[in-house]
Structure formats: structure tokens, C-alpha cells
């Protein structure tokens, strides 16, 4: 069965262009021009991925994202918008988006992102299900993570990112490796989405300032998780 993609876009020209491109890749595609229509269609059709514009005519796309997650949708949500401010990226990711692309975007990059998010997570052979570093525990089998006794509310890519870093606690993990293992082995293009996911993960781990960072930035290399 082909993967289902819901395109939420009020610009009919852009919507038709995306629909044709995705249909040509073999996906099932439906289009919604408003936020309310998107929520209704997502509930009835259960797409595997949602391409979501933020500037919708009835409600903000961020609210649509929150509604989808509150309704239990596990679809990958890729924001595709003209908004370029970092705060917009952070708000969208916190609302439940998995990725954030700004218009105009190259079709090849968009399709690569779609393939990456639709790819089933591959379980690494020989790695334990339970990972621990300091007071953080990651249960890969149950896809749950805890700081002490408190469960962390993580989006799918945030969980995968934390699992990789905690599994390599104390060791450097390159940006290339993160993009390859958390996103897609054939990933190309901007890695800004990684930086935004790192920022969101730091906030959810309860970090306040740079001196308390568990996730250390290694400039020009990647990141290292330091247990507290």
C-alpha cells in the first residue's frame, strides 16, 4: 500500500504542483486548503505524512499541528512555509512538527525529506533497548525517555536524537552521522532542522543556560552528550 500524504496548502498553484510531484513518486495524495478541512481529513483518512503550510486562511498552521497531535495523530508533520524566523521554527517544533522547510524549497530536497520521514525506523543490531546516562534513561523498545522519574514529552525525531546521543554518552557524534542515522542515509541539503531539534531537546531536558548543557556543541564536528 502506498504511503498517504496530506498536503495542507491554500495556494492552489503550489498545492497542484506538490500534488503532481508526490503522485509521480507513487504516493496517495489529498489536498486541504484550510486548517479545519485538514483536521477533518486527517482524522478520517489517517495520512502517514502531512505537508503543512502555516499561513492558512482560517486558523494558523501551528494550531492545526497541535490539534493533530492532541487527536493522537502519529503522522510525520513537515512544515512548509514562508516564515523564516527562528522563533517560528521553535514554536512549530514544540507544537509537534517533525521538520521545517522554508519556501521556496527545491523539489529534490522536499522529496528527500518526505522519503526520510516515511522511512521506517531501523533498529540497530546489538544495541540494548535500555540506555542510561546520568539521570536520563531511554527505553528504545517502548520509545519512552525519562529524566529521573519524570517522563519526557518527545516528538519522534527528538526521541531518536536523544537515543543516539545517550547511547554514545561522553563521545563525539558528528553531524553527518546524526543526519544519516536519525533522518536518512541519503540526506542532503540544510541541517538547520538538526539545530532546531537540539534546541528543543535541551529545553525539554530542563537546561537553563550554557553552563548546564548536557548536550555540548562541538563546533565544526557535532555534539557530545555529557551525563549530569
Give the CATH number, domain containing residue 31.
3.40.50.2300
Is the same domain home to 111 and 89?
yes
Is the same domain home to 42 and 88?
yes
Query: Which residues, 6 or more positions from 136, have their beta carbon under 8 angstroms from its beta carbon?
Result: 145, 146, 147, 162, 166, 205, 214, 227
**Domain limits for position 106:** 4-118
**Residue 163 falls within a domain, yes or no?**
yes
Is the same domain home to 175 and 105?
no
For 88, the 3-state DSSP assignment is helix
What CATH number is associated with residue 188? Answer: 1.10.10.10
30 burial via Cβ count (<10 Å: 0-12, 13-18, 19+): middle
Is the same domain home to 109 and 30?
yes
Last residue of some domain: 96, 118, 140? 118
Using a cut of 0.85, tell me whether the model's pTM lies above it.
Answer: no
Is the same domain home to 113 and 135?
no
Last residue of some domain: 118, 145, 169? 118
Buried b (16+ CB within 10 A) or exposed e, 210-228: eeebbbeeeeeebbbbeee
Last residue of some domain: 118, 153, 175? 118
pLDDT given at position 155:
86
pLDDT given at position 209:
43
pLDDT given at position 213:
67
**Residue 124 falls within a domain, yes or no?**
no
**Residue 29 falls within a domain, yes or no?**
yes
Is the same domain home to 138 and 214?
yes
Is the same domain home to 37 and 107?
yes
**Residue 68 falls within a domain, yes or no?**
yes
- Find the helix or strand (DSSP H, E) in which 147 lies: strand 144-147
Contact 138, 160 (CB under 8 A): no
Count of domains in the chain? Answer: 2
pLDDT given at position 208:
41
Is the same domain home to 196 and 216?
yes
**Residue 140 falls within a domain, yes or no?**
yes
41: left (phi over 0), alpha (psi -120 to 50) or beta: alpha
- Find the helix or strand (DSSP H, E) in which 218 lies: strand 215-218
List C-alpha distances in Å: 76 to 7, 53, 101, 119, 176: 12, 14, 13, 10, 22
**Residue 203 falls within a domain, yes or no?**
yes
Is the same domain home to 139 and 95?
no
Is the same domain home to 9 and 72?
yes
Angle formed by the axes of helices 61-70 and 86-95, nearest 10°: 20
**Residue 51 falls within a domain, yes or no?**
yes
Is the same domain home to 190 and 97?
no
Alpha carbons 213 and 6: distance in angstroms, whole number:
37
Ordered per-residue pLDDT tens for the chain, 228 residues: 689 999 999 999 999 999 999 999 999 999 999 999 999 999 899 899 999 999 999 999 999 999 998 888 888 899 999 988 888 888 888 888 888 898 888 999 899 889 888 875 434 444 567 888 888 999 887 888 998 888 998 888 899 999 999 988 888 888 888 888 887 655 555 567 888 889 888 888 885 444 456 898 998 889 999 887
pLDDT given at position 190:
55
**Residue 125 falls within a domain, yes or no?**
no
Is the same domain home to 134 and 109?
no
Amino acid at each position: 500500500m502506498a504511503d498517504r500524504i496530506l498536503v495542507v496548502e491554500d495556494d492552489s498553484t503550489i498545492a497542484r504542483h506538490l500534488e503532481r510531484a508526490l503522485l509521480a513518486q507513487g504516493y496517495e495524495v489529498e489536498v486541504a486548503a484550510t486548517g479545519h478541512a485538514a483536521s477533518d481529513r486527517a482524522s478520517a483518512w489517517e495520512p502517514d505524512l502531512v505537508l503543512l503550510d502555516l499561513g492558512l486562511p482560517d486558523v494558523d498552521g501551528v494550531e492545526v499541528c497541535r490539534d493533530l497531535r492532541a487527536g493522537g495523530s502519529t503522522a510525520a508533520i513537515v512544515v512548509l512555509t514562508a516564515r523564516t524566523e527562528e522563533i517560528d521554527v521553535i514554536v512549530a517544533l514544540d507544537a509537534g512538527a517533525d521538520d521545517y522547510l522554508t519556501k521556496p524549497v527545491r523539489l529534490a530536497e522536499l522529496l528527500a525529506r518526505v522519503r526520510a520521514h516515511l522511512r521506517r525506523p531501523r533498529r540497530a543490531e546489538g544495541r540494548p533497548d535500555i540506555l542510561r546516562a546520568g539521570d536520563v534513561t531511554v527505553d528504545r523498545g517502548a520509545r519512552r525517555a525519562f529524566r529521573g522519574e519524570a517522563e519526557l514529552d518527545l516528538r519522534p525525531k527528538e526521541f531518536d536524537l536523544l537515543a543516539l546521543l545517550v547511547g554514545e554518552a561522553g563521545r563525539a557524534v558528528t553531524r553527518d552521522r546524526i543526519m544519516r542515522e536519525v533522518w536518512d542515509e541519503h540526506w542532503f541539503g540544510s541541517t538547520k532542522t538538526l539545530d532546531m531539534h537540539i534546541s528543543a531537546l535541551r529545553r525539554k531536558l530542563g537546561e537553563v543556560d550554557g553552563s548546564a548543557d548536557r548536550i555540548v556543541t562541538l563546533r565544526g564536528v557535532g555534539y557530545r552528550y555529557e551525563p549530569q
